[in-house]
């Protein structure tokens, strides 16, 4: 009789498999495509606002409600889908988020007035809001420990791809027509295709183990071992526990558990998400309008914003190379505040738009060093039963800030000036980083439980 105490756990088997592009890499690619649409949709607000202002004769604060509705929808979707991922399964949430997004994006393209358009953007955001917490939980749980930091950091490489596509496609369409409905429609077909492909992804073995579904877990683990070419071995699975079910109170229960797990850790996660992403979303939402006000043509402003997003690919690459060497906290602690400082330099140089665009490219590089580390770091802070909801609630808090922030920004910017407003956002980032430094653990090399 085998002594199970001497056997490796099923979790450790999964996290010590060799990395194969045809196995874990396939899940990384499919998950990343959903993340790309998240970036595409958020960035699209910056391109759509000037066009809907013109079509429906809106002032700037009213038009800003478009981005607010979309991001508040994402905030709601993040914790709803994150909880579904922890209670019902990663695969269920992973598959259906994009379908909900696609349906309401089509509805938005057909909206007859601004109120309905904002409502449909809210509902599309609700569907898409689950992509980040669910995708990171699923991809992280399939990825071997040795590669997890780089893989989760590289996941954010899909963000600048999506953001750049949003601005490039918008610029190309706007060069020939001001039909913003066509800009939305172009995004929907590939989103439907990714939804269909996601149906082939298996459920997370770590989730199945935690839920006590050992037969399914063994089938997934054995298939991973076989497909990666790892030597077959016996392993142990923990005794089955009573699996929590989804109910009307599940979201509140998960929130309580997230804070009970460690309030200092959770406060660090929430404050980092709120502040770092607030700085980035302010740039995504308002940069085309800021550059236009500085004297740049509308199409040129969109192309410049696309360049800001595209150069982020280099930032993600640099982050992926450094994240295992420096650790999550050090890299995030430097790049987060620095990105806000560079955005201040953009504002100070708007009198010379060419110089401002150079600083904008520097901002795109540095902020995309910070954001992937942030996502990788927070996804590693929580245990399996809280990973989706822990990340989801942090993402929710950031989306609320990002939704309200651009609206407040539209009111504050004319009063206090652009550079002081960006500087105030940078001070918030610095405070969040300081809290992380003293109250949150380093997760580099951590084995996920």
Mind listing the pLDDT tens digit for each residue in 131-144? 877 887 888 889 99
Tell me what the pLDDT averaged over the chain comes to.
86
pLDDT class for 1, splitting at 50, 70, 90? very low
**pLDDT given at position 406:** 72
**pLDDT given at position 274:** 93
For the CA atoms of 299, 300, 306, 308, what is the dihedral angle to 10 degrees? -150
**pLDDT given at position 247:** 47
Q: Over the stretch 41-85, which tens digit does the pLDDT of each residue have?
A: 888 888 888 889 889 999 888 888 888 898 888 888 877 887 788
Please measure the distance between the N-terminal and C-terminal CA atoms of the chain and give it in whole angstroms.
27
CB proximity list for 225: less than 8 A, separation 6 or greater:
13, 17, 231, 232, 233
Taken in order of first residue, the domains within the chain and their CATH numbers are 7-231+250-439 (1.20.1250.20)
CB proximity list for 104: less than 8 A, separation 6 or greater:
120, 121, 123, 124, 126, 127
**pLDDT given at position 4:** 53
pLDDT at 244 over 60: no
Q: Which residues of 326-359 are buried (b: 16+ CB within 10 A; e: fewer)?
A: bbbbbbbbbbbbbbbbbbbbbbbbbeebeebbeb
Please compute the mean of the pLDDT values over residues 175-184 and round it to a whole number: 86
pLDDT at 39 over 70: yes
Q: How far apart are CA 296 and CA 19, in angstroms?
A: 47
pLDDT class for 246, splitting at 50, 70, 90? very low
Please compute the mean of the pLDDT values over residues 388-408 and round it to a whole number: 78
Please compute the mean of the pLDDT values over residues 37-43 and round it to a whole number: 84
**pLDDT given at position 41:** 87
Phi-psi region of 284 (alpha: psi -120 to 50; beta: other; left: phi over 0): alpha
**pLDDT given at position 142:** 93
pLDDT at 21 over 80: yes
Max intra-chain CA distance, the chain: 79
Looking at mean pLDDT, say which of 357-366, 381-390, 414-423 comes out highest: 357-366
- Residue 440 DSSP class: S
Q: How far apart are CA 267 and CA 256, in angstroms?
A: 13
Q: How far apart are CA 37 and CA 100, in angstroms?
A: 13
Q: Tell me the two tokens of residue 320.
A: 């992926």
Residue with tokens 């996920």: 448
**pLDDT given at position 240:** 61
Q: Tell me the two tokens of residue 57.
A: 């004769």
Q: Tell me the two tokens of residue 47.
A: 């391109």
Q: Over the stretch 78-123, which tens digit does the pLDDT of each residue have?
A: 778 877 888 888 888 888 888 898 899 999 999 999 999 999 999 9
Q: How far apart are CA 133 and CA 397, in angstroms?
A: 12
Inter-residue contact 433 to 338 (CB < 8 Å)? no
CB proximity list for 435: less than 8 A, separation 6 or greater:
267, 268, 271
Q: Tell me the two tokens of residue 319.
A: 């982050």
Q: How far apart are CA 96 and CA 99, in angstroms?
A: 5
**pLDDT given at position 89:** 85
Please compute the mean of the pLDDT values over residues 445-449 and round it to a whole number: 70
């Amino acid at each position: 009789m085998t002594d199970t105490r001497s056997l490796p756990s099923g979790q450790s088997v999964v996290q010590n498999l060799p990395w194969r592009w045809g196995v874990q890499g396939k899940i990384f690619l499919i998950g990343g495509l959903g993340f790309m649409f998240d970036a595409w949709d958020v960035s699209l607000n910056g391109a759509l606002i000037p066009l809907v202002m013109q079509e429906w004769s809106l002032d700037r604060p009213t038009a800003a409600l478009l981005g607010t509705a979309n991001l508040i929808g994402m905030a709601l979707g993040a914790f709803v889908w994150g909880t579904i991922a922890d209670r019902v399964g990663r695969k269920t949430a992973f598959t259906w988020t994009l379908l909900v997004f696609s349906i309401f994006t089509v509805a938005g393209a057909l909206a007859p007035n601004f109120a309905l358009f904002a409502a449909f953007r809210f509902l599309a955001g609700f569907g898409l809001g689950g992509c980040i917490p669910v995708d990171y939980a699923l991809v992280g749980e399939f990825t071997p420990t040795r590669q997890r930091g780089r893989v989760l950091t590289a996941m954010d490489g899909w963000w600048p791809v999506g953001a750049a596509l949003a601005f490039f496609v918008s610029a190309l369409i706007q060069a020939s027509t001001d039909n913003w409905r066509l800009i939305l429609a172009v995004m929907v077909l590939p989103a439907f295709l990714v939804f269909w492909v996601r149906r082939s992804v298996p459920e997370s073995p770590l989730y199945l183990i935690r839920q006590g579904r050992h037969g399914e877990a063994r089938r997934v683990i054995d298939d991973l071992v076989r497909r990666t070419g790892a030597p077959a071995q016996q392993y142990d699975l923990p005794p089955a526990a009573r699996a929590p079910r989804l109910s009307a109170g599940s979201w509140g229960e998960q929130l309580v558990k997230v804070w009970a797990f460690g309030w200092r850790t959770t406060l660090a996660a929430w404050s980092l998400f709120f502040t770092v992403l607030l700085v980035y979303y302010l740039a995504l939402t308002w940069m085309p309008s800021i550059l236009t006000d500085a004297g740049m043509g509308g199409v040129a402003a969109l192309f410049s914003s696309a360049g800001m997003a595209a150069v982020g690919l280099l930032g993600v690459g640099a982050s992926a190379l450094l994240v295992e060497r420096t650790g999550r906290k050090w890299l995030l602690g430097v790049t987060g505040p620095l990105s806000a400082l560079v955005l201040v330099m953009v504002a100070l140089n708007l009198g010379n738009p060419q110089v401002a665009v150079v600083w904008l490219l520097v901002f795109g590089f540095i902020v995309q060093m910070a954001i992937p580390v942030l996502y990788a770091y927070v996804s590693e802070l929580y245990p399996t039963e809280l990973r989706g909801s822990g990340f989801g609630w942090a993402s929710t808090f950031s989306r609320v800030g990002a939704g309200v922030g651009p609206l407040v920004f539209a009111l504050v910017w004319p009063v206090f000036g652009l550079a002081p407003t960006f500087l105030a956002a940078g001070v918030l980032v610095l405070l969040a980083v300081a809290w992380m430094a003293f109250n949150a653990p380093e997760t580099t090399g951590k084995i996920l439980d």
